[in-house]
Chains A and B, each alone.
Chain A
Amino acid sequence: MPDFAIRAHGMSKSFGNVHAVVDFNLNVPRSRIYGFLGPNGSGKSTAIRMLCGLLKPSSGEINVLGLNIPAEAEALRRKVGYMTQRFSMYEDLTVMENLRFMADVFTLPRKLQKSRIGESVSRYELTRLVNQRAGTLSGGQRQRLALAAATLHQPELLFLDEPTSAVDPENRRAFWETLFDLVDEGTTILVSTHYMDEAERCHALAILDHGRLAAEGSPAELSRDINAQVAVVEAPQLRQAGKVLEAQPWVHSTAQIGNTLRVLFDKATPQGNLLIRRTLDEKGIRANEVILARASLEDVFVAATHSSKSDR
C-alpha cells in the first residue's frame, strides 16, 4: 500500500495554446483532506479531471491509489467518488431514484444497496426529501445529494470540485463536518475551492495560479513560511494611503478591510511598520496605527501568486 493516495510528477495539460496546468507535482497523503486553492481559471478543475482520468495529460506521470492514470482509469472508477462543480444528478429523477441509479451503476448488491442508501439518506439529512425531484432541491440539499451519491460505494478517494460554490455558510460548515467524518473513516479527499475559509480547514493545500503550483503545505506552515510581511494600517484616508503604498517597489499589495488597510510587503524589509508610517507621512497622510500582523491564508495566497508572477 503506497503512503500516498495521489502522486503526480510533471503533470501538464494544454488546450491548443492555452496552458491550463503546467508542470504540476503533487503528493496527497491518505486519509487527509487536501485542498486546491486558486481563483477561477487557475487549473483546479483541469487538474482534478486529469487525476480521475477524465482528461488525458499532455505530459507527466500520474499515480492514483496505485494505478497509472490515464492507462488504468477504468480500474480507478470503482475506487473513487467524484462530485462535479456543476450539479450533475438527474434533475427529473427523485432523490431516491438518483441514489438507486448510482447504486446500480456501481453494481452494489440489492441488500447492500438498501442499507447503504438508508444510511446515506439519514447521514446527509435527505429523509424528508427522498420523493422530491432533484431539480427542485435547494443548493445545500443538492450538494448533500451529490455527496451521498458520490460516497454510496464507499470510495477510497473522493474528488470534490468546488463543492460549496452554491451553498450558504451554515450548510457549508455542516458539509465540512461530514467531510471530516469521512476522513475519520479512512477516505482521502481532494477538494478544490476558491474560498479562503474552506481552504483553512484542509490538512494540506496546494495554491494554484495560472496552472502552476505557487505554494504547498498545511495552512499553518503556509502562514509561517510566507515570503512576505503583513502590516495593518489605520489611517484617515485609506484609499489614498493604499495608492501611495502600492506605488512602492517593496509593497506586494494592499487591501482595504473595513477601517483598516492590510499591506503585504517584502520579507527582507527591516522595520517595515516604521517604513510604512514614514512613507505615508511624506505624502501628508498621518497613520493612527501601523502594526505587524500574522499572515492569513489570503495573505499567503496573494504573496504566493505575487511571487509566481515575478517568477514568470
Chain B
Amino acid sequence: MKSLQRIFAIVVKELRQLRRDRVTLGMIAGFPIIQLLLFGYAINMDPRNLHAAVADLSATAASRQFVMDVAHSQVVKITQQASSSEELELLLREGKISVGILIPPDYERRLQQPERAAVQLLIDGSDTVIQGAAAQIAGKSRAAPYNDQPPEVEIRTYFNPERRSPVNTVPGLIGIILTMTMILFTAVAIVRERERGNLELLITTPVRTSELMLAKILPYIGIGLIQVSLVLTVGHLLFHVPLRGSLLDAYTVCLVFIIANLSLGLMISTIARSQFQAMQLTFFILLPSILLSGFMFPFAGMPRTAQIIAEVLPMTHFMRLIRGVVLRGADLSDLASELAILGVFIVVAMTFAVLRFAKRLD
C-alpha cells in the first residue's frame, strides 16, 4: 500500500508538471494530429497533376487528341507549351516541369508504324516517384484509329536514368541533416544560457542583441559546411552521386540554407523556455520538412493546403535548389527565385529573433 501511495504521488506530480508545461502539452495533442493529417491527407505515393509541358510539333487533330487524353488522365497537368525538345529540356533542368511531352512533326505517320515510337516523354528522374508516375502516361491514351493500338511512347528519363535511389536521396539528405542539426544547435543556444544562468550575466554586459545573435550562428555555419562536404564526398565515393552543376553553386545553396535554418533555430530559442521545449519545437519543424518538402514524397502529389504549408519550410526550397544543381546541372540563375525565398526567410527569422530577444529579464 505504501508503495502504491508513493507511485501515485509521483504520477500526480508528473501530471501537474505536464499541465504547467504548455509547449509539451500542445505537442501531446499536436503531434498525433499533425502526423495523421500528413500521412493520411497530404502524402500521396501516387501523385497527380505533375507539371508538364507539351511541344506539339505535329499540330494535328490526332496529336491534340493525344494531349487531351493525357491531360484527362490527371497524371499530368499541362502548364506550358514549348516549341522544341531543347526548350523542354531547359524547363526540366530549371525544375519548372516534371514531364515534357514531345510530339514529333511526323506524329501521324508514326502512328501507322507501330514499331516506331510516336511520342517521346522527357521525365525528370531526380525524383523516383515522379519517374514511376509519369511512366503511367504511356498507357493512358486512346487507341489510334489506324491500328487499334495506343501510340507507342518512348520514355527518356533525365538525370537518373538508372533509377538509383541514392542519387535521389543523397542531395535531399543534406537538407534533412542540416535541418535537424542546424536548427537544434541554435534552438538550444539561448535557452541553454538562460537555464544555466549565464544569460543574466551576459545581458548586463555591453553585448548587443544583434551581436549575440550573429555570434551564435557564425560557428555553426562552418560546422554545417563540413557536414555538407562529408555527405557530398561520401555520396560521390560510395554511391556515385553525380554533381552535374558547379560545386560553387552547390555550396552557395547549402550556405544560404544553413543560415536560414540557424536563423529559424534562433527564433525558436527566443520562444522556448527550456532546452526540452526547444527540441520539441525543432522536431515540429523537422517532421513536415521530411514529409512535405518533396524529399520523401513528391510535392506535386500533395493537396494545395499541404503545398502551401510546404512553401513556408526552407527545406522545400532547398530540395528544389539542391536537386536542381546536383542532379539536373541547373545553374543558380535558373533557380534565383528559390534562393531569394530563402534570403527572405533569413531576414524575417533574424528580425523576429532580434526583436523578441530583449536584454531584460521581464
Q: Judge whether B21 is part of the interface by a CB distance below 8 angstroms.
A: no
A88 contact set on B, CB distance < 8 A: 196-201
Contact status B206-A90, CB under 8 Å: no
Q: Judge whether B205 is part of the interface by a CB distance below 8 angstroms.
A: yes
Residues of chain B in range 55-91 having any CB-CB distance to chain A below 8 Å: none
Q: Judge whether A119 is part of the interface by a CB distance below 8 angstroms.
A: no
Give the interface size bracket for B toward A: 10 to 19
Q: Judge whether B16 is part of the interface by a CB distance below 8 angstroms.
A: no
> Which of these, B196, B199, B200, B206, contacts A77 with CB under 8 Å?
B206
A17 to chain B, nearest CB (A): 15
B211 — nearest CB in chain A belongs to which residue?
A105
B205 — nearest CB in chain A belongs to which residue?
A105
A15 — nearest CB in chain B belongs to which residue?
B362
A53 contact set on B, CB distance < 8 A: 204, 360
Residues of chain B in range 196-227 having any CB-CB distance to chain A below 8 Å: 196-207
A158 to chain B, nearest CB (A): 11
Contact status B204-A52, CB under 8 Å: yes
Could you tell me how many residues of chain A have their Cβ less than 8 Å away from some Cβ of chain B?
A: 26
Q: Judge whether A24 is part of the interface by a CB distance below 8 angstroms.
A: no
Contact status B204-A77, CB under 8 Å: yes
B33 contact set on A, CB distance < 8 A: none
Q: A52-B204, A106-B205 are in contact. Are A90 and B198 (CB under 8 A)?
A: yes
Residues of chain B in range 337-362 having any CB-CB distance to chain A below 8 Å: 359-362
> Which of these, B197, B206, B361, contacts A78 with CB under 8 Å?
B206
1/0 contact string of A89-124 vs chain B (CB within 8 Å): 111000000000010011100000000000000000
Q: Judge whether A74 is part of the interface by a CB distance below 8 angstroms.
A: yes
| Complex CA–CA separation, A73 to B209 (angstroms) | 13
| Complex CA–CA separation, A52 to B359 (angstroms) | 11
| Complex CA–CA separation, A43 to B276 (angstroms) | 30
Contact status A102-B205, CB under 8 Å: yes
| Complex CA–CA separation, A88 to B359 (angstroms) | 16
A87 contact set on B, CB distance < 8 A: 197
B197 contact set on A, CB distance < 8 A: 84, 86-88
B361 to chain A, nearest CB (A): 5
| Complex CA–CA separation, A86 to B361 (angstroms) | 14
Q: Judge whether A301 is part of the interface by a CB distance below 8 angstroms.
A: no
> Which of these, B205, B207, B360, contacts A56 with CB under 8 Å?
B360
B204 contact set on A, CB distance < 8 A: 52-54, 77, 80, 82
B201 — nearest CB in chain A belongs to which residue?
A88
A186 to chain B, nearest CB (A): 20
Q: Judge whether A277 is part of the interface by a CB distance below 8 angstroms.
A: no
B361 contact set on A, CB distance < 8 A: 49, 54-55
A224 to chain B, nearest CB (A): 37
Contact status B201-A54, CB under 8 Å: no
A269 to chain B, nearest CB (A): 45
| Complex CA–CA separation, A82 to B200 (angstroms) | 9
B328 to chain A, nearest CB (A): 45
| Complex CA–CA separation, A90 to B206 (angstroms) | 18
A76 — nearest CB in chain B belongs to which residue?
B204
Q: A53-B360, A88-B197 are in contact. Are A105 and B207 (CB under 8 A)?
A: yes
| Complex CA–CA separation, A73 to B207 (angstroms) | 12
Q: A84-B197, A86-B197 are in contact. Are A54 and B360 (CB under 8 A)?
A: yes
| Complex CA–CA separation, A15 to B362 (angstroms) | 9
Contact status B205-A54, CB under 8 Å: no
Contact status A105-B206, CB under 8 Å: yes
Residues of chain B in range 174-189 having any CB-CB distance to chain A below 8 Å: none
A107 contact set on B, CB distance < 8 A: 206
A104 to chain B, nearest CB (A): 10
| Complex CA–CA separation, A152 to B55 (angstroms) | 74
B362 — nearest CB in chain A belongs to which residue?
A55
1/0 contact string of A137-159 vs chain B (CB within 8 Å): 00000000000010000000000
Contact status B196-A91, CB under 8 Å: yes
Contact status B206-A84, CB under 8 Å: no
The interface centre, meaning the residue of B196, B202, B207 with most chain A CB atoms within 10 A of its CB, is B196
B359 contact set on A, CB distance < 8 A: 54, 73-74
A148 to chain B, nearest CB (A): 13
> Which of these, A70, A74, A84, A149, contacts B200 with CB under 8 Å?
A84
Q: A49-B361, A53-B360 are in contact. Are A82 and B206 (CB under 8 A)?
A: no
> Which of these, A55, A82, A86, contacts B360 with CB under 8 Å?
A55
A107 — nearest CB in chain B belongs to which residue?
B206
A86 contact set on B, CB distance < 8 A: 197, 200
B214 to chain A, nearest CB (A): 14
A48 to chain B, nearest CB (A): 10
A52 contact set on B, CB distance < 8 A: 204
B198 contact set on A, CB distance < 8 A: 88-90
B362 contact set on A, CB distance < 8 A: 15, 55-56
A84 to chain B, nearest CB (A): 5
Contact status B201-A82, CB under 8 Å: yes
B158 to chain A, nearest CB (A): 51
B207 contact set on A, CB distance < 8 A: 105
Contact status B203-A74, CB under 8 Å: no
B163 to chain A, nearest CB (A): 48
Q: Beyond the given A55-B362, A105-B207, please list 15 additional residue pairs across the A-B interface where CB-CB is below 8 A.
A: A15-B362, A53-B204, A54-B203, A55-B360, A70-B360, A80-B204, A84-B197, A84-B200, A87-B197, A88-B196, A88-B200, A89-B198, A89-B201, A90-B198, A106-B206
Return the 7 tightest CB-CB contacts between A and B, nearest first.
A88-B201, A82-B204, A86-B197, A88-B197, A77-B206, A105-B205, A54-B361
Q: 12 A–B contact pairs at CB < 8 A?
A: A53-B204, A54-B360, A55-B361, A84-B200, A87-B197, A88-B196, A88-B199, A88-B201, A90-B196, A105-B206, A106-B205, A107-B206
Interface residues of A (CB under 8 A from B): 15, 49, 52-56, 70, 73-74, 77-78, 80, 82, 84, 86-91, 102, 105-107, 149
Interface residues of B (CB under 8 A from A): 196-207, 359-362
